[in-house]
Amino acid sequence: MDHSTRFRVQNWLRSQRKILHSRMCLLMLVMINFVNSVILTLEVCGEDSNLTLLMFFVNTIVVFLSMYGLYNFKPVFLSPNVLLKIVLSSSALFYGLQMAETRANSCIFAWLTISIILFILEIHTMFSTTFDIIKQLNLRAYIQPPTYEEALQKMRQAQLASTEQQPGVHQLDLTALPV
């Protein structure tokens, strides 16, 4: 394996590692969001166990769809997560308002407000990072291939670099190629 191929492989591995790290961060955000939504569901629908169980299953399916969308770069699968979080956050906020009016303790309202703010931040971070990754992949996919002159220049540079590393080894003379 020559130097240029090794260099390309190292760059590719480095970019894959960055994508993996950003995916792992997004998955951690999704899991934190999942736990947060389970807590909100228990708070809002705690007395009705059938509704709580149904919301738990729906939330689990939506989280798996989000993970699929993140790993396959399909942001369409993130939209059910956003819609569910908006519905759950708004119902939790109205529930918190009702609880704050009926009780003298306003801790529930403050806790639900913080939870909703965390939901909004998580969704913003998830979408911005996902669209940045997709934009980078599209830039790589639609970049113009090198021209004939650029390809010859790169081949000459690779040939010079390989002869400097291995003196005495005779390579193909690329200067004789027509330009």
pLDDT tens column, 93-151: 777 777 777 776 667 777 777 777 777 777 777 777 777 767 776 776 677 777 888 88
pLDDT tens column, 32-82: 777 777 777 777 776 767 887 888 888 889 888 877 877 777 777 878 877
- Could you tell me which of 77, 81, 108, 79 has the C-alpha nearest to residue 92? 108
In this predicted structure, what is the pLDDT of residue 95? 76
> Residues 11, 128, 44, 114: what is their CA dihedral angle, to the nearest 10 degrees?
100
Residue 120 lies in a domain: yes
Residue 174 lies in a domain: no
In this predicted structure, what is the pLDDT of residue 172? 53
Residue 108 lies in a domain: yes
Residue 170 lies in a domain: no
What is the residue range of 75's domain?
Answer: 3-163
Domain count, the chain: 1
Residue 175 lies in a domain: no
Q: How far is CA 101 from the centre of its chain?
A: 40
| Residues 6 or more apart whose Cβ sits within 8 Å of residue 127 | 75, 78, 82
Residue 54 lies in a domain: yes
In whole angstroms, give the CA distance from residue 159 to residue 171: 7
In whole angstroms, give the CA distance from residue 42 to residue 98: 16
Residue 59 lies in a domain: yes
Residue 179 lies in a domain: no
pTM over 0.85: no
| Residues 6 or more apart whose Cβ sits within 8 Å of residue 24 | none
